[in-house]
């Protein structure tokens, strides 16, 4: 196994009196696609916010590509790209202009923008205003923006939520190509078929900590399940019975 590029040890996070993370520890290897799973409200997006330095926490140690997320520094930010829920584009700008703005801020050559327009099949829509984009195209522009600087780690929080199967497939193809280039992907999703297709390893978050982790096909054997969805339902069964 490759060395860890994401290392979290004993992370605790509360909002007021509500304890969301109660000692979360996990390691993600370089080049892995890691599926971070769990029911609504489990703390997946919160974990991503902690990892990208957007919110604080109590923790023993968090390291991403050798850097701590807080305080945020350029060396650290260079290594990460993020697509979060409900992120926005500049609505009055075209696809091209949205990406070009960030390309210039990042000091990248225009050829990088051209590459991404092709890789995410955005060429035909490069002159469309962001306000006129469908959800699937909007999501692809957000992914292109997050990946402009070729970060070592890409965080994707429910990247295919609300996408039709064709749009989702474009996103999946892009993620698979990222793997070829050695990028580490930390992805949350409620679509277990997507997780089975993409993820090298998954972790299940419940009640503030990881309750299961492993390679999808090994978990299927362990739980005598045909689909990852059944493993997920088994792990959540106790809650359902309450
Ligand atoms: N800014 C906030 N202030 C207070 N509570 C919050 C805040 N953000 C999240 N929470 C709470 O923390 C818990 C975890 O939320 P989080 O968004 O991390 O869950 P999630 O696993 O991403 O869920 P989902 O699958 O629905 O996206 C929830 O109970 C949520 O209500
Ligand atoms: Mg979430």
In this structure, the residue with its CA closest to atom 6 of ligand 1 is 15
Per-residue pLDDT tens for 38-81? 999 999 999 999 999 888 898 878 989 888 887 777 778 889 99
DSSP conformation letters of 106-135: HT--HHHHHHHHHHTT-GGGTTSBGGG--H
The one-digit pLDDT tens for each residue of the chain (242 residues) are 678 999 999 999 999 999 999 999 999 999 999 999 999 999 999 999 999 988 889 887 898 988 888 777 777 888 999 999 888 999 999 999 999 999 999 999 999 999 999 999 999 999 999 999 999 999 999 999 999 999 999 999 999 988 899 989 999 999 999 988 999 999 999 999 999 999 999 999 998 999 999 999 999 999 999 999 999 999 988 665 55
Dist CA 52 CA 198 (whole Å):
22
Going by the DSSP 8-state scheme, the letter that residue 58 receives in this structure is B
If phi > 0 it is left, if psi is from -120 to 50 it is alpha, else beta; for residue 40 that is: beta
- Domain boundaries defined on the chain: 4-241
Helices 110-119 & 135-147 angle (0-180, nearest 10)? 140
In this structure, the residue with its CA closest to atom 25 of ligand 1 is 40
Å from CA of 44 to ligand 2 middle? 5
CB 126 within 8 A of CB 94: yes
In this structure, the residue with its CA closest to atom 5 of ligand 1 is 15
What CATH class is the domain 4-241? alpha beta
Q: Best substitution site from 15, 82, 195 to test ligand 1's pocket, by max atoms within 8 Å of Cβ?
A: 15
Per-residue pLDDT tens for 147-156? 999 999 999 9
Question: Quick check: CB of 49 below 6 Å from ligand 1?
Answer: no
Question: Quick check: CB of 20 below 6 Å from ligand 1?
Answer: yes
């Amino acid at each position: 196994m490759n060395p860890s590029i994401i290392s979290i040890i004993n992370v605790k996070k509360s909002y007021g009196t509500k304890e969301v993370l109660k000692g979360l520890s996990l390691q993600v290897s370089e080049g892995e696609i890691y599926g971070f799973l769990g029911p609504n409200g489990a703390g997946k997006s919160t974990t991503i916010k902690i990892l990208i330095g957007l919110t604080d926490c109590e923790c023993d140690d968090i390291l991403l590509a050798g850097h701590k997320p807080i305080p945020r520094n350029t060396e650290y930010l260079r290594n990460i790209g993020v697509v979060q829920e409900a992120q926005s584009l500049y609505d009055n700008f075209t696809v091209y202009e949205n990406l070009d703005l960030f390309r210039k801020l990042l000091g990248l050559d225009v050829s990088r923008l051209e590459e991404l327009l092709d890789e995410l099949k955005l060429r035909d829509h490069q002159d469309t205003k962001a306000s006129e984009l469908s959800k699937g195209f909007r999501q692809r522009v957000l992914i292109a923006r997050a990946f402009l600087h070729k970060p070592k780690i890409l965080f994707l929080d429910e990247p295919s939520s609300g996408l039709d199967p064709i749009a989702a497939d474009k996103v999946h193809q892009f993620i698979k190509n990222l793997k070829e280039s050695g990028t580490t992907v930390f992805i949350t999703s409620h679509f277990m078929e997507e997780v089975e297709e993409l993820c090298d390893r998954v972790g299940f978050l419940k009640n503030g900590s990881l309750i299961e982790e492993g390679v999808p096909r090994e978990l299927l054997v362990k739980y005598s399940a045909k689909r990852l969805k059944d493993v997920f339902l088994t792990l959540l069964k106790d809650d359902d019975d309450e």
